[in-house]
Amino acid sequence: MKVRIDADLCQGHAMCALACPELFQLSDEDGHAYVEDENVPPEYEAAVERAVRSCPEGAIQTS
């Protein structure tokens, strides 16, 4: 699984970081989320799916 965040949609609600802090980071500059590596280890797939569902802006996509 891969995960991406649409920077144009992210508003910095941080719901993804709460769902999966191991993968989602928050920018110190504007609080928007990002991932350093789009490849999701299998043990975090369920948490990433929770992050996708919890994003109020729909800014997170998986493939």
Structure confidence by residue, pLDDT tens digits, 26-47:
999 999 999 999 999 999 999 9
pLDDT reported for residue 4: 98
pLDDT reported for residue 11: 97
Longest Cα–Cα distance of the chain, Å, equals 30
Query: Model confidence at 18, in pLDDT bands (50, 70, 90)?
Result: very high
**Over residues 2-30, mean pLDDT:** 97
Q: Beta-carbon neighbour count of residue 47 at 10 Å?
A: 18
User: The domain spanning residue 47 has which CATH number?
Assistant: 3.30.70.20
How many distinct structural domains can be found in the chain?
Answer: 1
Owning domain of residue 8: 3-62
Q: How far is CA 40 from the centre of its chain?
A: 11
Percent share of the chain, pLDDT over 90: 100
